Structure formats: structure tokens, C-alpha cells
Structure 1
């Protein structure tokens, strides 16, 4: 029978809300967190800190995703073996963690890959092996800004001309951007009382600091912890053009494996050309965002009751008036 901790803090993203910065902060402070009674597991989260293993163990058809490829999972049979090893690995970490009472896990793919209540329930069933109670932390960002950030990520990944904004049937919104549905699914499985939601806007953070805000929500001490710069930032206008041109010549993989030379170049160029880009016009961004007004209003009632102003700014002045030229 594995040891059970008192609580589990689950940071579920969403994607493009500073998750990499939070995870790198947590990974850099594993020992200090452990001294305070908080276990941030190393199993599949040793480098940058994102706990992909929890997603891979419970998500449907994970072998068809980039997570499966990164973890060497290419079939259900392999995933079953991975899940068994993963559970044993976390069992061992929890067993060796004798003084603490909190398990903390963070993965942006909780948002993007666990898209049904059934999958979220499988995660809870897995975590019930090690913990008694839960706290869920989630941040939400204005949908058009998420789409622009995804565009930068797609370019870094190797796409030469990725899509930016889409038109959707407002009666059947994509789950990725349907924040009300996301919140509802997690609240249904874990309970509305354990949900801690925030907005990904500097003005909404405690002292304008995302890490301070996250630590407050997770009841973590920040004093004395190592701080790092922001991670996985978007590309500047020049960076977008550099990646669009060079992606035509850089192979994403060599003989079925990731191209390490390209990965190294991506890291260098991402730091050199970080910044902001606005590849769509003001009216395109606003039209995209308007598709989600109803679900955002519903989210406000669910997660931010009593708030007397809209969740997201309606100012789109940072976008160009005319549609930018793209070849």
C-alpha cells in the first residue's frame, strides 16, 4: 500500500499562460520545496519540469500525440507498460518523501489533452493512490492572445505557414478555447470548492508577478526561492520571419528522431528574437475573440462570482488596423 499524502495541488495550465516559467521555477526549487514539505516529482519532469507522465498515463490515444512520441509510446501496449512503470516511479518518490504532506504537479497538457471528464476522472483515480484531497489551479488568457502565442510555438516546432485564427460554430466551440467547459469538467470531477482560477494578465497578478501569484494560490513560500527569467516567450516580428523562412530548410527529424541541431538553433533563435508579433489585423482578432463571449460570461459566473467587470479587456489597439502581409 503506497504512502498517502494529505493534499495534491494540480496546476492544469491552461496552455500559453506562463506554464513553462512556473514549471522551471518549481524544478529549480525542488530541494527547497521538499524542505517545506512539498514534493514536485522528477519522474518525466526532471528537466523543464512539466509532468507529462501523468497525462501519458491516462489520456486516450496518447501514442498519436507529440507527448507519446517524446516518451517513446507508440501503441496501447507500450502505454500500458509505461503507465505501470510510471506508477511505480511515483510510488517510490512518495515513499521516500517522508516528511512532507503535499504533492504538486504541473502540466499544461492537462488542459489540451485531458478533454473529457472520463480522462480527468482517470487522473483522479490515479492520484487517489497517493493523496487525500485536492486543489486545482488554472489560469485563463484572452483567446486571441492564446492563438497568437500558439502561432509562435508552431513556428518554433517547424511549421512553415501555420494557421493563426479560425472561425467556429459558436454552438460547438473547440474545447481548447472553451474555458467554461474546461472549468466545468474539472470542477465536476474534483469539486467546485477546490478550484482556484486566475486570469493571465499582469494587472491581475499579485504585485504584477505571475510566480508570486501562483505561489499564493498554491500556498507556497516564495522567500529564498530561486527565480529565473520568463520561459517560452513569443517571437518578435523579425523572429516570425526568420522561422518561417528557415523552417523550409530545417528538417524536424532525422531518421525518425528529433534533429538535435535544429533543437539547438531553435533555443538560440528563440532567445535572440523573443518579443511580440501581430500577424492579424485588429478586426480579425476581435472577430475571433467575439466567438467566445458567451462562454467567457459563463466562466465569469462559474469561477469569478461577484466580479464587477469583464474577465478580459476589450481593447485591441495593439493589433494593426490593416491585415499584415503574409506570403
Structure 2
């Protein structure tokens, strides 16, 4: 039995992959692929929280109602036991898939990744870690729509500047992600894919199915394939959410209603930062991105070239 671990990264189609795996879990099981429900519904959040010491990522801990260290210890034991039971009940499976972008974003230290390996990655014949790479400026511009959905109440420029502190370096530094996971699982077991090169009809989802050796025909009735999820919101929609978030008038239920409306009526490219800020943010990662492209995409530096604001592109002519 093999294991495929999909760790994101930020804004690279993870939600589409996870929804597909969840909606087609029975069909996948018939093809020998197990998506373990014991680790969480859609996103395998339980595996992430079991791999962290109590006190880390308390926002996620509250989602699964972990209030103290004793709760966390019992949760970890129960999660491991349920996972092992699910594996034992599936001896005919050829592949197990664990997926959570939080594995990238919430396990910033090597020891966190080691704990995840020790708890959930033992006794497999082969392990591969799948990670999609996207230019950091594109990530953070797209991520802004996501944080607005959650109630963020500051403009894009402030959001970008706040993420330029050293504390956020492991989140955006692609070399750091690769090195962290490669040190624990072996660099030879990393499957590093360029997000820009898999932007066909099914995007990252189609590419991930190729990794799993699945024939994903979008015209076939064999699979349930939904539309895009967690899409970017255009400038007008972002301004609406920003204004409502700043008033503090929306509770969680009403915000979800407004977000749903914006996703339906305001899809498209959102705000872009001024050229100087865009350059300052992206330049932090020039050296590490060069290492990534030379190591994994030689001859294709454009894979990690961001979508610059129009004024930057004009200035380069």
C-alpha cells in the first residue's frame, strides 16, 4: 500500500482537489484509492492538529473543540486509532491519499513534519509528497480574497506589508517548504509541480489525478466534477466585503451569505498592489525561487514569474 500526501501550497487549487476526492470517495475506493474519513471531512484537519503540540494553531483547535492539553492528547490517540482501523479495513487498497493545505501552512518546523510522519506515514511501501508551486505575489494577491471572506478588514497593501515580516517567511518560501519536507521524507519522494504549467481545462485537479494514475475525463459520467471553488473575487466584490468587515456589522452567518453572493456575482481578478510594493514583496524570494526552478524546472524560470501589475509590465518594455 502506497501513500500520497498532498500539502498545497497556498492558492494552488487544493479546494478543487479535496472536493473531488470527497465527492468521489466511493468510486475511488472501487479503484483501490482510500481517502481516509478518519482524518477529517474534505480537509484532513485531524492529521494536522494531531501533529502539532497543544497551543499551536488555536483557531483550528477551536474548530474541533480542543480546549486543553488533555483534550488534545485524547484527540491524538483517537485519531491515530481510527486511522489505523480504517487502513486495516482496506487491505485491498493500492493507495491512501492525505490532503490538507494546512500541512504546508501550519507545520512550519521540521519537528512538526517529523511528528506527522511518525504518526501517519509508517508501514507504507512507498510515500510521495505532492506540492504545487506558484509565484508568491500571485499567491498573496489571490489569498486576499480568502482572508476577506473570513472578516479581514484592512486594504490589500496593508495585508501584503503585514506578510513581509520574518514570521511569515516559511509560509511563502518555496525552497523552505521543499527542504523541510525533503529533509524528513527524502528529496526523492517529493513530487514538485508548477502551478502555471497545469492550467488546462481541469487545472491542478487534472494534474493530481494524473499523479494518482486516474483517467479524469470531464465529459464522462464516471466522476462528479464540480466547478471552481474558493475563487478570486473582483475589485468591486472585495471592496464590498472590506467595507462590511470594517463596520463589524456582520456575524458569521450573514458574512457567509454575502460571500456566497460575491462569489456568484463578483468573480474575477481582484485588486493589485502598486509596483514598488509588488517588487519588494516578490524580491524577497528571488534567490530561493531560482533554486527551485534550477532544481525542478530547469529552463522554465517563467513558472515562478508572477503576474505583475500592469504598470510593472509597462515599465519593463
Q: Shorter-chain TM-score category? A: 0.7 to 0.9
Change (3 A) 1:79 1:272: farther
Equivalent-residue separation in structure 1 for 2:307 and 2:79 (angstroms): 45
TM superposition score normalised by structure 1? 0.85
CA contact (8 A) 1:280 1:320 kept: no
- Specify the SS of the correspondent of 1:14: coil
Q: Please list, as runs of the form range in 1=range in 2, the aligned pairs for 1:1-20 lying within 5 A after superposition.
A: 6-20=1-15
Query: 1: CA distance between counterparts of 2:206 and 2:29?
Result: 18
Compute the displacement of 1:62 (Å).
5.0
Q: Does 1:84 align with 2:77?
A: yes
Label 1:207 to 1:231 Cα distance change in 2 as closer, same or farther (>3 A): closer
Corresponding residue of 1:220: 214
Indicate conservation of the 8 Å contact 1:94/1:130, yes or no.
no
Match of 2:205 among 200, 211, 229: 211
Could you tell me how far apart the structure 2 residues matched to 1:319 and 1:19 are?
30
Show the counterpart of 2:52: 59
Q: CA deviation at 1:64?
A: 4.1
* Other-structure match for 1:243: 241
Rounded to whole Å, the distance in 1 between the matches of 2:55 and 2:259 is 25
Kindly report the root-mean-square deviation, in angstroms, between the aligned alpha carbons of the 2 structures: 2.6
Distance 1:310 1:64, change over 3 A: closer
Contact 1:148–1:164 (CA<8 Å) still a contact in 2?
no
The residue aligned with 2:182 is: 187
Q: What aligned pairs does 1:97-136 form with structure 2 within 5 A after superposition? A: 97-129=90-122, 131-136=124-129
1:159 match: secondary structure: coil
Structure 1 residue 287 corresponds to structure 2 residue 280 = yes
Change (3 A) 1:245 1:139: same
Partner of 1:325: none
Greater CA drift, 189-198 or 63-72: 63-72
Match of 1:29 in 2: 24
- Tell me the distance in 2 between the aligned counterparts of 1:78 and 1:26: 29
CA drift of 1:287 comes to 2.5
**Alignment-derived partner of residue 231 in structure 1:** 229
> How far does residue 168 in structure 1 lie from its aligned partner after superposition?
4.4
Shift in alpha-carbon separation, 1:104–1:313, aligned structure 2, 3 A: same
Distance 1:233 1:187 in 2: 30
CA deviation map 1:2-35 (0-9, x unaligned): xxxx210000000211111111111111011101
2:169 to 171, 174, 186: 174
TM-score normalized by the length of structure 2:
0.87
Structure-2 change in CA distance of 1:62 and 1:274 (3 Å): farther
The structure with the largest helix share of the pair is 2
Q: 1:205 to 1:150 in 2, by over 3 A?
A: closer
Residue 43 of structure 1 deviates from its aligned partner by 2.7
- Checking the alignment, whether the CA contact within 8 Å between 2:153 and 2:243 is kept in structure 1 is yes
- How far apart, in 2, do the equivalents of 1:315 and 1:232 lie? 19
Q: C-alpha separation between the residues in 2 aligned to 1:319 and 1:45?
A: 44
Distance 1:190 1:176 in 2: 19
Q: CA deviation at 1:44?
A: 4.8
